[in-house]
Structure 1
């Protein structure tokens, strides 16, 4: 699984692995985790695609509570049996 690398606030890159993706209201969302080992617990986050420029895609963390809950419910349905997700 190829990681997504995002710049961190502290200057260190954040490496995230895509678990699932979905579309909602015309927006693309990614369910990502901080490691690719299925045997270990991982922190899950939701990213939203905010723009694409010449082969470069920009993502940001979903911080709006209403938007997060709506997308989290979809991801829970998609991977609920395969993963124990806590949102």
Structure 2
């Protein structure tokens, strides 16, 4: 993933803001997106950690769309995560995906 981070200042990434259970808001930069099985997924990195070459990306699943808001959830199912991570790995030209 280092290549995209080296050039992060040259690009402007779309962002999503997630609210944690304690009410804290965290901003994520969208690195890529992919559709799979009628669902849309985002590959995101916490915006304030974009310069960290060792930062871990998360996969978010779009769960609902309202007129003003889109709701995303973390992909927690292992099989779904592996399937979608593989799609990002195949697609990623500007980043590397390592599945742990």
Indicate the RMSD between aligned Cα atoms, in angstroms. 1.8
Q: Aligned match of 2:95 in 64, 75, 83?
A: 83
**Residue correspondences, number:** 86
Q: Aligned match of 1:62 in 50, 75, 81?
A: 75
Structure 2 length-normalised TM: 0.75
Structure 1 residues without counterparts, runs of 5 or longer: none
Partner of 2:43: 31
Q: Which of structures 1 and 2 has the larger relative contact order (alpha carbons within 8 angstroms, sep 6+)?
A: 2
Partner of 1:40: 53
Greater Cα shift, 37-46 or 20-29: 37-46
